[in-house]
Amino acid sequence: MSFVLGPNQYGKAENRVVRIYRDTARHEIRDLNVSTALRGEFTEAHTTGDQANVLPTDTQKNTAFAFAKEHGVTSPEDYALTLGSRFLDVTPAASASRIEVEEYAWDRIEVGGTGHDHAFVKRGGEVRTTVVTQDRSADEPRAWVVSGVKDLVVLKSTGSEFKGYLKDEYTTLKETDDRILATSLVARWRYETTEGVDWNKSFEDVRSLLLETFATTYSRALQESLYAMGSAVLAAHPEVAEIKFSAPNKHHFLVDLAPFGLDNPGEVFVAADRPYGLIEATVQRENGSDAGDAWLTVPGFC
């Protein structure tokens, strides 16, 4: 039997980098979880144990922290682009770098009606994400930015139905024209370019549009809501090439209160945690740009 090394990458996962801007009395905070990875000609490291080509994951970690000071964190995307370029510069064997950043948002604590200068409260739940890939294995170097949001938990208490679906002898689900629709959304969108984008503004605008469209679209299924949300983003954001969703359908089942002599016209539900429907979809432009390696090792999407 003989073997060869298949696809591989290595780096330091989940560096918890917190950058405080304290140049004035009013501090700013960027709270990041940074995962770095390199791909390329690292066969020897695996097959003969020769580590001559390997930039240690420890060095990658150190650089992640040093760059938070030297280059700052104006946005997760710019930080990741700078860090990924650096790793390519100092690692000749690397053909590509992949930097994944999650950002946790903090709000200022309100004191006497104004936000405190240096005391913060963590914003619940949702996480801003980016995956920046830079590849130099082809004639022209290529780069991709895939940004997004995860754990964005949303719920509509009406304005959602599910009926007219395929039925067989195992179907027990009752049709409904008024149900709760809830999900913990993961959305990731690929940018057309890595330059000239106001990453923070684009993120805020896309996020707002996703929420607004979820709220205002009458939903005949989670599938329809996702498609409407994606279409709204592509229509308003030429800088976005495509958007992918992974949306668990967080079922809320109406509780039968009849045994207690109570009616229940859509007022009391049991929130089930599992199993859940898992609806995944991509909304893309017709004849859109080539995604290249943008989605390579981005898990959890169809």
Ligand X SMILES: O=c1[nH]c(=O)c2[nH]c(=O)[nH]c2[nH]1
Please report, as ranges, the residues that interact with ligand X according to CB under 6 A: 162, 173, 221-223, 249, 277
**Nearer residue to ligand X within complex by CB, 73 or 222:** 222
Q: Is 118 one of the annotated active-site residues of the chain? A: no
CB of 251 to ligand X, least distance (A): 8
39 annotated ligand-binding residue: no
**Nearer residue to ligand X within complex by CB, 13 or 279:** 279
51 annotated ligand-binding residue: no
Task: Considering the candidates 43, 57, 74, 282, report the single residue annotated as catalytic.
Answer: 57
CB 153 within 8 Å of CB 125: yes
To which residue do tokens 């690929």 refer? 190
**Nearer residue to ligand X within complex by CB, 80 or 226:** 226
Beta strand 240-249 with 277-284: parallel, antiparallel or unpaired?
antiparallel
Task: Considering the candidates 156, 244, 251, 252, report the single residue annotated as catalytic.
Answer: 251
Cα distance between residue 300 and residue 282, in whole Å: 12
Cα distance between residue 288 and residue 241, in whole Å: 7
CB of 270 to ligand X, least distance (A): 16
The alpha-carbon radius of gyration of the chain (Å, integer) is: 23
CB of 257 to ligand X, least distance (A): 22
Cα distance between residue 201 and residue 274, in whole Å: 36
AA letter at 75: S
**Nearer residue to ligand X within complex by CB, 73 or 247:** 247
139 annotated ligand-binding residue: no
58 annotated ligand-binding residue: yes
Q: Is 217 one of the annotated active-site residues of the chain? A: no
AA letter at 36: T
User: Quick one: angle between helices 222-236 and 199-216, nearest 10?
Assistant: 140
Q: Is 116 one of the annotated active-site residues of the chain? A: no
**Among all residues, which ones are annotated catalytic?**
12, 57, 251
Indicate the annotated binding residues: 57-58, 162, 179, 223, 249
